[in-house]
A = this chain, B = another copy of it.
Amino acid sequence: MELKTKILKWGTGFPVAMLNKKTSDKIGINFGDRIIIKTFSKGHQEVSAITNTITKLIKINEIAVSSELKKQLGLKSGQKVEISLAPTPKSLNFIKKKLNKESLSQEEIDEIIKDVVENSLSEAEIALFISAMYKQGMSMKETIYLINAILDSGNRLGLKYKYMVDKHSIGGIPGDRTTPLVVSICAAAGLIMPKSSSRAITSAAGTADVIETIADVEFSMKKVREIVKKTNACMVWGGALGMVPADSKIIRIEKMLKIDPESQLLASIMSKKLAVGSKYILINISYGKTAKVDKKGALRLKKKFEYLGKYYKKKLKVVLTDGSQPIGNGVGPALELKDIIRILDQNKKGPKDLEEKALFLSANLLELSGKSKKGEGINLAREILSSGKAFEKFKQIINAQGGKLIEFKSAKFKKNILAKKSGRISEIDNKKISLLAITAGCPADKFAGLYLHKKKNHRVKKGEKIMTIYAESKSRLNEAVKFYEKEKPLKIK
């Protein structure tokens, strides 16, 4: 049946189409059913969507589409589309195969990922896939199939340089914002580093959120190539590039279910690195009691990453770093950027732990790519930072991304947390610190978050300032302070 598109600016979180009840009755579609929408433009794009029905607002010959669908099909108001009832996706059988402990082939995984991208699988069906991966596990062979499938479903950056490098941290450590520093140092040294980063999902800030406080991070693939050609690097949001659309959808459901199968974690990271196309890849795994992984888990992941690096013929190195407490002082988009600028600007004094970690990672990339000889990377990195070359490069990249360095304003409200007794800070809980910053309004409120005046093993006196919490509203601030009192993210012994 042919219908005319009606654009509503209707955000649903997933692709939904609304039909007049009479239209849906006529073609035997019920609300909740899945339909296929086909365009008549070149390429005859088609995707699936969930049907809503309504008796008013939408005419009999109309179809209203959610913002997600409009974007996916590039629909315009009044555009004609063809709709039909969607068949049960074949890939559901493959998901059940995995659930029943059978191995999947490349073709079967391809079919699942294709159906994820085309919305042919519902949220419940994708949840079943995640559950099957989680419970039965995937072999390295299947993980590779998954990487290939995710990679094939999206765009590639398609740049070729001799010294193209990339870096990934598995995350989980608040304030651990090394990426802008590593990118600036490496790009200043002549390495090419097209860095695509994520936004925060369960943390207080992602690199994309941090950079967005002073520059744009959403660009087309074409524009990203231009920025990289001009500055050797970029710091953009990966989600806008459509490199791994399947991955984004799967991750959304994983976050909802709060489970994260290892095969999907490996596939998610590797497919992004491969889509960018860098030859030299550094993976940073921070481990600790309140980090994402403990030492044993870190070593197991390391082995798997190394295997995948070899398989895809990449020079890949995995470093294990200390994840026992937050890195730097600021937690939250703008507060983390302040730390970074205090490190880059040699007239200011930034947090030493963040600086040393960034230098260590930069040195590894310089040596891995052959820019530096073994053992000399750290000196080169330090020289580039202290000479101000890294700061110049940072400003150049920010500039190419339509931004500039500005003097930050502070959040509207703040509250100093004082030590209730004298002693030594014996523990800082990464997870609770993240939740505290989120409670204060991160990542949506860019200037919200917290500043750690004291770190682990520091001595404090009763009444001394140990932390400042920032928020954009009085109620958010109160909630954060309440959270602090209840959860006690810092321990004094």
Contact = CB atoms under 8 A, between A and B. Distances in A.
A71 interface: no
**Is chain A's interface secondary structure helix, strand, loop, or mixed overall?**
mixed
Interface in A378-424: none
Contacts of A92: 257-258
Contacts of A1: none
The range of chain A's interface size is: 35 or more
Interface string A29-53: 0111100000000000000001111
A462 interface: no
A139 interface: no
A99 B131 contact: yes
Contact of A99 (B57, B67, B135): B135
Nearest to A68: B31
Interface string A45-69: 0000011111111000000001100
Nearest to A18: B10
A265 interface: no
Interface in A429-483: 444
Given A131-B132, A135-B135, A124 B257 contact: yes
A256 B92 CA distance: 10
Contacts of A30: 11, 13
Interface in A224-255: 253
A125 B127 contact: yes
A148 interface: no
A159 interface: no
A28 interface: yes
A99 B261 CA distance: 12
B125 A128 contact: no
A259 B124 contact: no
Contacts of A11: 21, 30-32, 52-54
8 contacts: A11-B53, A11-B54, A16-B52, A92-B258, A99-B134, A124-B126, A124-B257, A131-B135
